Amino acid sequence: MNLPKRKGLIIVCLLAVIQSIARFAIPLTLSTMDGPVLDNPVSEELMMFINAMFYLIGALGLVTTYGLWRRKRWGFLGALVLSAGTIAFDVWAMVAVQSSAAMGIVLPALFIIYLLLIRKDFQEEGD
């Protein structure tokens, strides 16, 4: 196994995998219950959109994490874009649906900060 040279990047990758798995687990868990307990009730269509976004963010998170782990520039750029998109989605969800969505902002914000600090590691790649 080829480990990234920075311990911080290993931690980011592990946290990103955990967050991606959680993005799959949350809608799956809620679908087995009597439905989500939300601050603001939403339509079935909106709930389907929210669940689809959870799955999309989770899947893209796994892909970009693989790219980060392999120290690929596309993984770095993808992780930055996905983290920013995740923050935007969670801010919307926090305002419109559920205040606890604010928890989903923490890790992506930390990922962005750390990745920008180590961006030189990803600047000299040919692919």
Query: Which pLDDT belongs to residue 1?
Result: 58
* Residue 37 DSSP SS3: coil
List pLDDT tens digits, range 31-79: 666 666 676 777 889 888 999 999 999 999 999 999 999 999 999 999 9
Higher pLDDT, 34 or 97: 97
Tokens of 17: 């995998």
Given a cut of 60, is residue 127 above it in pLDDT? no
123 vs 61: CA distance, rounded Å: 21
Query: Which pLDDT belongs to residue 87?
Result: 97
List pLDDT tens digits, range 100-123: 888 999 999 999 999 999 999 898
List pLDDT tens digits, range 2-22: 656 788 999 999 999 999 999
Query: Which pLDDT belongs to residue 92?
Result: 93
Query: Which pLDDT belongs to residue 2?
Result: 62
Domain assignments of the chain as residue spans, ordered by start: 7-122
94 vs 71: CA distance, rounded Å: 33
Residue with the two structure tokens 């967050």:
19
Query: Which pLDDT belongs to residue 100?
Result: 85
